[in-house]
Amino acid sequence: MSETAGAADRSIGVAFEKAKAEGRALLIGCMPAGFPTVPGSIAAMRAMVDAGVDVIEVEIPYSDPVMDGPVIQRASDIALAGGVRVADTLRIIEAVAATGAPVVTMTYWNPIERYGVDAFARDLAAAGGTGLITPDLIPEEAGEWLAASDAYGLDRTFLVAPSSTDRRLAMTVAHCRGFVYATALMGVTGARTKTSEAAPTLVGRVRAVSGLPVGVGLGVGTGAQAAEVGRYADGVIVGSALIRCVLEAADETAGLAALGTLSTELAEGVRSVRR
């Protein structure tokens, strides 16, 4: 395990600052751990980093992913059918963090509760993970995670939504560390033909109460969409479109090639607009 200096370089905050200095938004690419296999997912995440994705979001596959659309559901089912375990996810995080790209983990709450919140935080930090995005954990239920993330210096990304009231939004953002995840649409994950009109307003509402970077996810799938979202958000989060490259490929080589091509397009997208 590398020492603290290395860990600081891999922090999300530093990555956002670097992108900001370059006058662009940060690109976050998501892939479920163990999809299509454990080595296959490591290869996919490395290909994304090589093609210019700034931060890798590793999703822990879960049997009942209610915030996810059909693409991530299918990928998660494939990973679980392949026998991937939470411990494998930690190995994958370690392998991807070794590329130098910051790795954030997205997870539904039950696998963490089952593993033990404190034990998971300890092992995540040891593996070089930066923190958690928690789609079904709201700050009111997060007491144990607030304590564990403080104890191990991990980031906490809770979601805000267009339906969040001002009071809730301020409370949620106050509990975030690293960055805030703004769900652009009222809906589940999945690439859409049009990006959200609600997202810029939501990002503005977060900025009004916090200096934390804001990532926008749900519905982004092309370079042009990444550019559009990159005009107003600090981070552009892409999941389903990248995962589909692997899901729909004839074989692993073709999947990695498609993934590389789309990652490059998205990376060019966020670099095509000056902020």
Partner 1 sequence: MSAPTLPDSSAQMPDGAGHFGPYGGRFVPEALVAALDELDAAYRKALSDESFQSDLARMMSEYANTPSRLYPAERLSARVGARILLKREDLNHTGAHKVRNVLGQALLTKRMGKPRVIAETGAGQHGVASATAAAYLDLECVVYMGEVDTARQALNVARMRMLGATVVPVTSGSRTLKDALNEALRDWVANVDRTHYIIGTTAGPAPFPEMVREFVRGIGVEARQQCLDATGALPDAVTACVGGGSNALGIFHAFVPDTDVRLYGFEAGGDGIETGRHASSITGGSSGVLHGTRTYVLQDEDGQTVESHSISAGLDYPGVGPEHAWLNDIGRARYSPVTDAEAMDAFQLLCRTEGIIPAIESAHALAGTLKIIPELAAELGREPTIVVNLSGRGDKDVHTAGEYFGILDGER
Which residues are designated catalytic? 57, 68
Residue 35 binds partner 1 (CB under 8 A): no
SS (H, E, C) the chain: CCCHHHHHHCCHHHHHHHHHHCCCCEEEEEEECCCCCHHHHHHHHHHHHHCCCCEEEEECCCCCCCCCCHHHHHHHHHHHHCCCCHHHHHHHHHHHHCCCCCEEEECCHHHHHHHCHHHHHHHHHHHCCCEEECCCCCHHHCHHHHHHHHHHCCEEECEECCCCCHHHHHHHHHHCECCEEEECCCCCCCCCCCCCCHHHHHHHHHHHHCCCCEEEECCCCCHHHHHHHHCCCCEEEECHHHHHHHHCCCCHHHHHHHHHHHHHHHHHHHHCCCC
* Listed ranges 30-38, 98-106, 186-194, 241-249: which one lies at the site for partner 1 (CB under 8 A): 186-194
Contact pattern for partner 1 over residues 38 through 77, marking x by CB under 8 A? ------------------------xxxxxx-xx--xx--x
Nearer to partner 1, 23 or 70 (CB): 70
Residue 13 binds partner 1 (CB under 8 A): no
* Listed ranges 7-15, 38-46, 135-143, 260-268: which one lies at the site for partner 1 (CB under 8 A): 135-143
Residue 86 binds partner 1 (CB under 8 A): yes
Shortest distance (Å) from residue 265 CB to partner 1: 27
Residue 268 binds partner 1 (CB under 8 A): no
Q: Which of 183, 195, 196, 240 binds partner 1 (CB under 8 A)?
A: 183
Shortest distance (Å) from residue 70 CB to partner 1: 7
Residue 157 binds partner 1 (CB under 8 A): no
Can you read off the two tokens belonging to residue 196? 């959200």
* Listed ranges 3-11, 110-118, 208-216, 231-239: which one lies at the site for partner 1 (CB under 8 A): 110-118
The residues that touch partner 1, with contacts defined as CB under 8 A, are 62-67, 69-70, 73-74, 77, 80, 85-86, 109-115, 135-138, 140-141, 158-165, 168, 172, 183, 185-188
